[in-house]
Amino acid sequence: MTAPRTVAIDARKAPEDCATMVDVRQGVDALDRALVTLLAERQRYMDAAARIKPNRDAVFDQARIDDVVAKVLKAAEPAGLSPDIAEPVWRLLIDRCIAHEFGTWDKTRV
């Protein structure tokens, strides 16, 4: 079994210590690189789901979507992430992941 990759985030100033837009952009770019790594791992879980799910009808699961969004919103608050950002971002992420999973499911069953 392969262990999940540890995500390193490049050195950056804390947001409250940024004095220039260069500082801000360096921080955002560092976080974006880490997010890409995390999203790639999440996508691999969607590939695993497509491999495991017994039929195509199991790919879309509204109850699971609602559960994921609720968990994200619960985690967002103490992290200081606005629900106005968290909810639409995760709903779009879930939508795109479901589309990816459908494609993967179809490719592996043809």
Task: Extract the annotated binding site for substrate.
Answer: 25, 42, 53, 101
Rounded Cα distance, 27 and 9, in Å: 9
**Binding-site residue ranges:** 25, 42, 53, 101
C-alpha pair distances (Å), 106 with each of 55, 60, 63, 101: 10, 13, 22, 8
Tracing tokens 């969607």 back to the chain, one arrives at: 46
CA quadruple 82, 73, 104, 49: dihedral positive or negative?
positive
Do 6 and 27 contact (CB within 8 A), yes or no?
A: no
